[in-house]
Chains A and B, each alone.
Chain A
Amino acid sequence: MADEPMSSQTDTICLETRDLWFAYGDNPPALRGISLTIRAGDFVGLVGQNGSGKTTLAKHFNGLLRPTQGQVLLYGQDIRDRPVGELARTVGYVFQNPDHQIFSATTREEIAFGPRNLGLEEAEVQRRTEQAMEHFDLTEYADHQPAVLGFGLRRKVSIAAVYSMRPQILILDEPTAGLDWHCTHDLMERLTALHRQGHTIILITHDMRLIAQYTPRCMVLREGKLLLYDDTRKVFEHCDLLRETHIELPQVCELARELAPIGVRRDALTVPELCDSYADLIARREVTNAGGH
């Protein structure tokens, strides 16, 4: 049996929304009554078509947007009256475009900005800055101007600059868009490491292969409503519903479904899982054949 993606979630609920509605100005509501809970230590994939409300929902988690109606609770407390700056200590938000975030003359300053802004002592600011650069493999670029680094590196700087504030909850909006295969998986491994350390991570993406491989939980939005929210393996069972929302399942998941009638596990999510299951099946057949003769 293949390893389940490791899940270190506890029973503590860190984020909750209750009947959350939101409209931009006089436009039709972008969120229509979303009620959900996220446990501390969870790693959640947030998917849905463009315009389904993913970013709008995520921006409510750190107070960048405020509900038109309904509530957002952080560790059980309504965040209505809490300023974004204070929420940022607990909830870090990495924007889709790293260039919307980067402004400092050096990578080190960029990453130190957040913790310094929290009013930490200089020694602690430096400790966190160095540690964040190390975690994202940026130490050699410490004195470089971040704005002129390559796209993959700018992306990592933007994440390290949020991570250095040590928010318990980290939200990332399409962090792998525009990254090649190598950078994508490098980044996902680093996020997985943060998850193992106990951070709650919310990942907005279109790439269902990443969800299948890395995030144990998955929520799907459609037209401002929460369509599915469950363990990733269970969410992937609803393939017709996902296809209706133009979410493409990874080839391996489709293949597992097609091969299920001949005995392959139907709910395989990754290449190694499907490979194992197929290999088991062949081994079992060989035993049966040998016994029959």
Chain B
Amino acid sequence: MSKIIVVEELSYAYPPAIPGHDPVWVLRGVDLEVEEGEFVSIMGPTGVGKTTLCLALNGIVPQSTGGLIKGRVLVDGLDTKREPVPQLAQRVGVVFQDPETQLFNMSVEAEIAFGLECLGVPRDEIKERVSWALAVVGMTGFEDRPPFQLSGGQKQRVAIASILAMMPKILVLDEPTANLDPLGKAEVFSVVRELRHKRGMTIIMVEHESEHIAEFSDRVIVLNEGRVEMADTPDKVFSQVDRMREIGLAVPQVSELADCLNHRFNSQLNFTQFDEALRTLKGQLDGR
């Protein structure tokens, strides 16, 4: 397998809010490698630089934001410091937390076609890609609807479709469910599940919902104090219950339960998903 993303010793500071003040380094030496086709989730406390890292993957950091940068980011072999952002956009698509910031057209179809028109994709192909992308997010039939009339979950699904239509190799989802109610969250996670299982796309998801992270991720990256503190399978990361709490992060409730039982019985239980927990706990009793 090839490494589609390589982040080496990345440090970054936004330009100071008041000119002349010292820059504040948000990222302080991030090292990260992602394999093609991998599903990686990024967790970290508020303000740790999760969004900054996402934006460094498609070149917006530092090309549009300025500031100071050290180290480098290679995406599909391209250095994101230098490669023009539109070139990068065809490789890395970013979906943001608030779909409102992304949607501006008068119809769902126009919204999704917009990026393709900018890339100069032929008309017929645009039509095909729009219907394909809408089908993937389960929004076929909404072509003519104005995006602003949709529910939060539907808006976010349209935002995802508009990125998918550009067929990036890498999809970055930056807290895609943070602004949604439980129904909207469920809708978006079912799209993520679909992408996870059916397509070979590389996916980077920034999230707080640990129970969904456990379900989807090959690896979980924990950012803390500007660096990668953990980068491992969900099992390994979520078994560090005490450390995760110190950092201020949630683990799945079943991982808390495993931890609680381990303290009680001096055992080595480790589960991060509901079905796994149920099987293990039933099995333990049957085995006795």
Contact = CB atoms under 8 A, between A and B. Distances in A.
A278 B252 contact: no
B288 interface: yes
Contacts of B278: 255, 258-259
Contacts of A152: 46
B5 to A, nearest CB: 25
Contact of A182 (B245, B253, B254, B261): B245
Contacts of B152: 50
A278 B208 CA distance: 28
A233 B48 CA distance: 37
Which range contains the number of A residues in contact with the other chain? 35 or more
A111 interface: no
Contacts of A197: none
B47 interface: yes
5 contacts: A150-B46, A182-B248, A206-B182, A248-B186, A281-B285
Given A152-B46, A178-B178, A286-B288, A255 B186 contact: no
A275 B264 contact: yes
Interface string B250-288: 101110110011001100000000100110011011001
B229 interface: no
A49 interface: yes
B45 A279 contact: no
A252 B257 contact: yes
Contacts of A274: 257
Nearest to A179: B46
B119 interface: no
A117 interface: no
Interface residues of B, number: 35
B183 interface: yes
Contact of B274 (A151, A209, A255): A255
Contacts of A252: 253-254, 257
Contacts of A151: 46
B287 to A, nearest CB: 11
A1 interface: no
B208 A279 contact: no
B49 to A, nearest CB: 14
Interface in B140-186: 152, 178, 181-184, 186
Contacts of A272: 260
Interface in A161-220: 178-183, 206, 209
Contact of A262 (B45, B260, B285): B285
Nearest to A207: B182
Given A251-B211, A271-B257, A286-B288, A259 B282 contact: yes
A271 to B, nearest CB: 5
Interface of B: 45-47, 152, 178, 181-184, 186, 208, 211, 244-245, 247-250, 252-254, 256-257, 260-261, 264-265, 274, 277-278, 281-282, 284-285, 288
B265 A279 contact: yes
A246 B186 contact: yes
B84 to A, nearest CB: 34
Contacts of A247: 182
Contact of B46 (A180, A275, A285, A289): A180
A279 to B, nearest CB: 5
B13 to A, nearest CB: 18
A254 B274 contact: yes
Closest 5 CB pairs of A and B: A182-B248, A50-B181, A275-B260, A251-B253, A181-B250
A282 interface: yes
A250 interface: yes
A256 B200 CA distance: 36
A246 B182 contact: yes
Interface string A237-263: 000000000111011101100110010
A271 B253 contact: yes
B181 A255 contact: no
Nearest to B288: A285
Contact of A49 (B178, B181, B261): B181
A278 B253 contact: no
A138 B277 CA distance: 40
Contact of B264 (A248, A250, A279): A279
B257 A206 contact: no
Contacts of A49: 181-183
Contacts of B252: 251
Interface string A267-285: 0000110110011011001
Contacts of B184: 50
Contacts of A259: 278, 281-282
Contacts of B46: 150-152, 178-180
A255 B281 contact: yes
A247 B181 CA distance: 10
B70 to A, nearest CB: 26
Nearest to B281: A259
A289 B285 CA distance: 12
Given A180-B249, A251-B274, A255-B278, A271 B256 contact: yes
A104 B47 CA distance: 24
A5 B116 CA distance: 55
A137 B47 CA distance: 20
Contacts of A150: 46-47
Contacts of B183: 49-50, 246
